[in-house]
Structure 1
Amino acid sequence: MNRRRNMVISAAAALLSGLLVYGVYVLQLRQVKFQETVSVVVPVRFVAAGERLTTDMLGTKQIAKALYSPEMSVRGDELSGMEVVVPLGAGEPLLDWKLDKFRLLPSRSQSTFGIPRDYVLSISNGIRAGDKVMLYVSGETVNSARLFQDPVTVASVKTAGNVEIDDTKNPNLMSLANGDKEGMYASRRDANRMIDYINLNLTEDQWLQLDALCKGGRSKVVIAYSSESLNAGAPAKEQVR
């Protein structure tokens, strides 16, 4: 009986010893990884949202390789001229999603299309340049449905006099750049002129799909403000043509 108990105790001790050795090995391995560093780009001072980066605003910082993310920038010369989307603290690693080059211009796969007025059934009156919008199709020949799965970017919205719609005392783009949700809401509330022309950044396939549905006159699109513009947008009023 004592012999069996001693064997169990010895086996348990061996197991615990093995686990201890493995734990020490894992800790040492993690320590080695943290000792390896990588140089990332950081701002040398606080940078407000909406500012454009210059080379004298940027420096480098060594961080543990284990903390490095592919979204972090490692070459400062590639960031000059980029616009800051959200405020940046001094010494904070620059992440790709916090910067943008030309927020209102189409991407490589897109072009800016002016949507003909007779293609539009209704449009949210609170839409501004830089917003994300959802497009829906409605008409006699099709079932009402979302036209594109993902939101598209508004390049500009203008009146019949070719004037950009905005609140001159509280520009929407400035509020958007600063992440000011209250300011964006106020801009939409106070700038209540009618939208006569809207330009959207679309791919060629998206435009051809929209044009094929609407050029006969039996189908039209509803353009709705998407909360993705600021992750939590204010409800927009709908303007029916």
Structure 2
Amino acid sequence: MNRRRQITISISAAVISGLLVYGVYLLQLRQIKLQQTIDVVAPKQFIETGTILSKDHLKVIQLPGRAVTPDMVRNLTETVGMETSVPLGGNEPLLKWKVDKYRLLPRTGESTFQIPREYVKSISNGIRAGDEIAVYLSDEAVPSKRLFADPIRVAGVKTAANLEIDNPKNPNLLSLANNDKEGMYASRRDANGTIDSINLNLTEEQWLLMDSACKGGTAKLVIAYQTSAIQKEGE
């Protein structure tokens, strides 16, 4: 009887010991997973809204696995050529919602407006889709002035034949995404036509201000090409 009891006690002790060892193993495995680091993308320094991202803007940092969330960007190359929708803090993990690939589309609160020809006095012929422009108001009765303090994003520029103005062999947007100022210059020089119509991304307030200023017929718009974000980086 004592022998059977001893065997039972020994087996129980062995099982309990095995369970303790397995439990310690699971705890160690969990601790290792928590200590593992994962590569994520982060800006090297503060980046303003509207900046076209290049590899020079970004770096890879490591975070503990438990700190990484699904909306963090983990592949540096997937963000190159995208535009920042909000300011980015230096060394902060880059979140997917903070960058935008389709920058020709209107942002939140904006709509795309085709500007009536009769509103326009002149358009800089170097303007292309994706550019930022300055809009001025020219009126013989009052001093000329800048209509909007902030730059306006161009959604599209077309010829009289309704063709988007660009250099088909060297598209401006591709050069813009690749941080290629020489390519941008060439695409503007070798464009396929003269601007006949222009589409701008405006807020409702901006459009109403423009419409109110120009619908009387005396005031006209002067639309000028403004140095883009990609060129500011090189200055």
Specify the TM-score bucket, using the shorter chain as the normaliser.
Answer: 0.5 to 0.7
Equivalent AA in structure 1 for residue 80 of structure 2: V
1:75 matched to 2:70? The reply is yes
Q: Map 1:3-22 to 2 at 5 A.
A: none
CA shift in 2, pair 1:216/1:168, >3 Å = same
1:85 matched to 2:86? The reply is no
1:106 matched to 2:106? The reply is yes
Secondary structure in structure 2 of the residue aligned to 1:42: strand
Equivalent AA in structure 1 for residue 71 of structure 2: G
Cα RMSD of the aligned pairs, angstroms, is 3.6
Q: Map 1:224-235 to 2 at 5 A.
A: 224-232=224-232
For 2:12, the equivalent position in structure 1 comes to none
Check the 8 A contact 1:112/1:155 in 2, yes or no: yes
Check the 8 A contact 1:132/1:154 in 2, yes or no: yes
Structure 2: tracts of 5 or more residues without a match: 1-34, 43-52, 55-59, 83-91
Q: Give the distance between the partners of 1:162 and 1:113, measured in 2 at CA.
A: 16
1:187 matched to 2:182? The reply is no
Check the 8 A contact 1:142/1:219 in 2, yes or no: no
Deviations 1:141-188 (A, max 9, x none): 332011000001000000111100000111101000101001000111
Check the 8 A contact 2:72/2:95 in 1, yes or no: no
Secondary structure in structure 2 of the residue aligned to 1:222: strand
Q: Give the distance between the partners of 1:169 and 1:113, measured in 2 at CA.
A: 28
For 2:144, the equivalent position in structure 1 comes to 144
CA shift in 2, pair 1:168/1:141, >3 Å = same
CA shift in 2, pair 1:214/1:136, >3 Å = same
Q: Give the distance between the partners of 1:75 and 1:60, measured in 2 at CA.
A: 16
Question: Kindly, what percent of the aligned residue pairs are identical?
Answer: 57
Deviations 1:105-128 (A, max 9, x none): 111110000001110111110111
Superposition TM-score, scaled by structure 1 size: 0.61
Q: Give the distance between the partners of 2:177 and 2:188, measured in 1 at CA.
A: 15
Superposition TM-score, scaled by structure 2 size: 0.62
For 2:217, the equivalent position in structure 1 comes to 217
For 2:163, the equivalent position in structure 1 comes to 163
CA shift in 2, pair 1:222/1:97, >3 Å = farther
Check the 8 A contact 2:119/2:214 in 1, yes or no: yes
Check the 8 A contact 1:41/1:74 in 2, yes or no: no
CA shift in 2, pair 1:214/1:160, >3 Å = same
Structure 1: tracts of 5 or more residues without a match: 1-35, 44-48, 51-58, 64-72, 87-91, 234-241
Which protein shows a greater Rg? 2
Secondary structure in structure 1 of the residue aligned to 2:198: strand
Paired residues, number: 171
1:42 matched to 2:27? The reply is no
User: Aligned-pair distance for 1:230?
Assistant: 2.3
For 2:135, the equivalent position in structure 1 comes to 135
